[in-house]
Amino acid sequence: MKNIYVIGAGLAGSEAAFQIAEAGLPVTLYEMKPQKYSPAHHSPYFAELVCSNSLRSNLLENAVGVLKQELRYQKSLIMASADMHHVPAGGALAVDRDGFANTITETLKNHPLITVKNEEIKNLNKFNLQEDYVLIATGPLTSEDLFQALKSFLDEEDLYFFDAVAPIIESESIDSNITFRASRYDKGEGEYINCPFSKEEYEQFYEELVHAETVPINEVDDLKLFQGCMPIEEIARQGKETLLFGPLKPVGLIDPRTGKQPYAVVQLRQDNHAASLFNLVGFQTRLKWNEQKRVFHLIPGLENAVFERYGVMHRNTYINSPNHLNLGYQHKVYEHLYFAGQITGVEGYVESVGSGLVAAKTLINHIKQEKQQNYTEQLYLNPETMLGGLAHYVISADSNHFQPMNANFGLVPELKSSERNLLKQKFKIEEKGRRGRRLVYSYRALSHYPEWMSENNYKFENQINEIEPR
Ligand SMILES: Cc1cc2nc3c(=O)[nH]c(=O)nc-3n(C[C@H](O)[C@H](O)[C@H](O)COP(=O)(O)OP(=O)(O)OC[C@H]3O[C@@H](n4cnc5c(N)ncnc54)[C@H](O)[C@@H]3O)c2cc1C
């Protein structure tokens, strides 16, 4: 029997180890915690959510919602735990982070085919890559030694950029005489706590925010801010109005005390089941901690806020996957070597889980040598699905400008408007405009899953053009 090793029990590594073990193959899972923690990891649990507790949209009009549904059909451990530990968040799937991670940790530790080793892997020397199977899922904060070892192994320079984390606040310390509960456009049941600004309050907050002191950046590191996770102070520096169209936009929110839309609004989202913690939505930051306290206390309703965790900013490591990987996250030269998670250039919690699942299934197929003939048998690589779309993106993107990627409908093959209209008829999609267009792509992806077809009462055929409602 070949040895199989998964390195890193984060979102991707936990999912990968589970899939491999569930396929009947013994696997050793290496995790450096609790001996060693990255700057953003704090809990000894596996699959720790280092920033937001939201796994983003759960709706099928959204690509990450489709990805979640595909993962559910693929029997993902991470999705099962997320669904089990969800907390109210409107159309998003947010979780109680400790409950979520605890279920995953216990499942993996108690699995008869999984051996857990708490050890930092510093290089690949201990593995025989001709014999052993190795799946690297050490994430955006891969430890320094392994990072350097991978750099020389892959002969790559410049494998990183920066991400930022939002602060978490004790809900009891939020002034409910000033804030109000509501979801934008009254969608949901008022899950968010909203802090309303007058124009004067906003202007004072803005001035303090853009002049506050930030943590210095390591001079060796060239600052490359990822647009999807830009620190609040960097967004603010782009112009006085920018926040009003971004994280502080007031549209769809009416302050019940005035009956009017405030000038600006900061939203807080529930962070745990007990609703004792809330995070500041969109407030990733690299302000110094004392500056965060000073400036964020200027937000109406947060004058006495107690910070459970301050925002931080960190390196984000990823390899230039188009240069190194085959479809299925397999190394081009060493066929027994796989990568998964953020280190491959997928971006986001759910995307990392997705790549962990696909890499594991590709590895399993390689070991079992069950030759799949087409994409229908390898659903997780089908380019029309979101799992497949991401897997195709990381190998086919331009390696000169390779950027981490969230799930989005631009990753799957485009449909001509005549094809879209046909599918709209077949799936009886009545929505018009952007939402209608997005649902066509969602339904096309999900139509590859027999479960979705039978849930929705469609006949299952291999070819999309042959799908007919019953
Ligand atoms: C600061 C920050 C904030 C982020 N916020 C969000 C967010 O809000 N929403 C979102 O969708 N995505 C976010 N991301 C992006 C990304 O989705 C997460 O980082 C996600 O956790 C990546 O999953 P992963 O499995 O690739 O890595 P991780 O979940 O980080 O797992 C990697 C694991 O490997 C372990 N490890 C590292 N090096 C070694 C080693 N040498 N030997 C053994 N074990 C090792 C680590 O301890 C860790 O447990 C954020 C990223 C960062 C860096």
- pLDDT tens-place values along the chain, 470 residues long: 689 999 999 999 999 999 999 999 999 999 999 999 988 888 999 999 987 899 999 999 999 999 999 999 999 999 999 999 999 998 899 999 999 999 999 999 999 999 999 999 999 999 999 999 999 999 999 999 999 999 899 987 756 666 667 898 989 899 999 999 998 887 777 789 999 999 999 999 999 999 999 877 653 344 455 445 688 999 999 999 999 999 999 999 999 999 999 999 999 999 877 788 899 999 999 898 889 999 999 999 999 999 878 887 777 889 999 999 999 999 999 999 999 999 999 989 999 999 999 999 999 999 987 655 555 568 899 999 999 999 999 999 988 878 788 898 889 998 988 999 999 998 999 988 888 989 999 999 999 999 999 998 887 554 444 444 43
The single-letter code of the amino acid at 407 is: A
Ligand 1 centroid, distance to 233 Cα (angstroms): 23
Comma-separated ranges of CATH 2.40.30.260 domains in the chain: 164-315
Q: How far apart are CA 159 and CA 333, in angstroms?
A: 19
Name which residue sits closest to atom 16 of ligand 1, judged by CA.
348
5: Cβ below 6 Å to ligand 1?
no
Position 1 scores a pLDDT of: 67
313: Cβ below 6 Å to ligand 1?
no
Position 319 scores a pLDDT of: 93
Residue 414 to residues 137, 166, 343, 433: CA-CA distances in angstroms? 31, 35, 27, 16
Q: How far apart are CA 424 and CA 411, in angstroms?
A: 20
b/e 378-393 (16+ beta carbons within 10 angstroms → b):
bbbbbbbbbbbbbbbb
Q: What is the dihedral of CA 236, 240, 245, 250, to 10 degrees?
A: 100
Position 181 scores a pLDDT of: 95
Residue 24 to residues 80, 218, 310, 356: CA-CA distances in angstroms? 20, 45, 42, 17
Residue 161 to residues 150, 226, 415: CA-CA distances in angstroms? 16, 7, 34
Place of tokens 């606040």: 169
Neighbours of 192 (CB within 10 A): 24
Token duo for residue 181: 């509960």
Architecture of domain 164-315: Beta Barrel (2.40)
Closest CA to 363 of 71, 105, 27, 70: 27
Residues in CB range of 260: below 8 A, 6 or more apart: 254
Q: How far apart are CA 180 and CA 176, in angstroms?
A: 7
Name which residue sits closest to atom 29 of ligand 1, judged by CA.
10
40: Cβ below 6 Å to ligand 1?
yes
Q: Domain spanning 4-159+318-411: which superfamily?
A: FAD/NAD(P)-binding domain (3.50.50.60)
6: Cβ below 6 Å to ligand 1?
no
Name which residue sits closest to atom 10 of ligand 1, judged by CA.
348
Neighbours of 418 (CB within 10 A): 7
Q: Is the dihedral of CA 105, 122, 341, 141 positive or negative?
A: positive
Percentage with pLDDT > 70 across the chain: 91
Distance from chain centroid for Cα 351: 5
Name which residue sits closest to atom 20 of ligand 1, judged by CA.
349
Ligand 1 centroid, distance to 212 Cα (angstroms): 28
Position 341 scores a pLDDT of: 98
Comma-separated ranges of CATH 3.50.50.60 domains in the chain: 4-159+318-411
Position 221 scores a pLDDT of: 47
Peptide bond before residue 322 is cis, with ω within 30 degrees of 0: no
> Which mutation among 352, 358, 394, 403 tests ligand 1's pocket best, with the greatest number of atoms within 8 A of CB?
352
pTM over the 0.75 mark? yes
Look at residue 300 and give its three-state secondary structure: coil
Ligand 1 centroid, distance to 19 Cα (angstroms): 19
What does DSSP assign to residue 168?
A: E
Place of tokens 């936990």: 14
368, 428 in Cβ contact below 8 A? Answer: no
At 328, give phi and psi (nearest 5°).
95, 10
What does DSSP assign to residue 178?
A: T
Name which residue sits closest to atom 24 of ligand 1, judged by CA.
139
Q: How far apart are CA 351 and CA 56, in angstroms?
A: 11
Which of ligand 1's atoms lies nearest the C-alpha of 356?
25
Name which residue sits closest to atom 48 of ligand 1, judged by CA.
10
